[in-house]
Amino acid sequence: MATVKTIAAANAPKAVGPYSQAQKVSGEAETIYVSGQLPIDPATATMAESIEAQTEQSLKNLGAILAEGGFSYDNVVKTTVLLADIKDFAAMNAVYAEFFTGEKPARMCYQVAALPMGAKVEIDCIAAK
């Protein structure tokens, strides 16, 4: 069984949001790499307007895929968040923090020129157990 340890180096900047500097996976691990999830509601094939609702839907989509693979948010060790507008960072962060309430995964977040279908956010992850 793999062990996951949160890495918090005192000689590096602390995380500026709900994530950790890094997650170390040791031992025999089962890993899932989840592709970027747009905020598309699978029941309606539509996207909400607000960054908060879009972030929530992207994370729900990730959760559904994780569950299908036998994983949960608690197994996530790394995420990447793509934003159409970095000004949405704080609003995205507030919703993101509701999904990752235990040990925080490592994370990258940056603004991109555009996202598919005019989305405001896209999120991927790597999970291990």
User: What Cα–Cα distance (Å) separates residue 33 from each residue in 19, 47, 71, 124, 128?
Assistant: 18, 23, 11, 8, 9
Residue 4 has pLDDT above 90, yes or no: no
Instruction: Point out the catalytic residue in the list 38, 84, 92, 109.
Output: 109
pLDDT tens-digit map of 22-50: 777 777 778 899 999 999 999 998 999 99
What is the SS3 assignment for 42?
coil
DSSP per residue, 25-36: EESS--EEEEEE
Q: Which DSSP symbol is given to 106?
A: E
* Phi, psi for 60 (deg, rounded to 5): -65, -40
pLDDT at residue 18 in the model: 87
C-alpha 2: how far from chain center: 21
125 belongs to the catalytic site? no
pLDDT tens-digit map of 46-82: 999 999 999 999 999 999 999 989 899 999 999 999 9
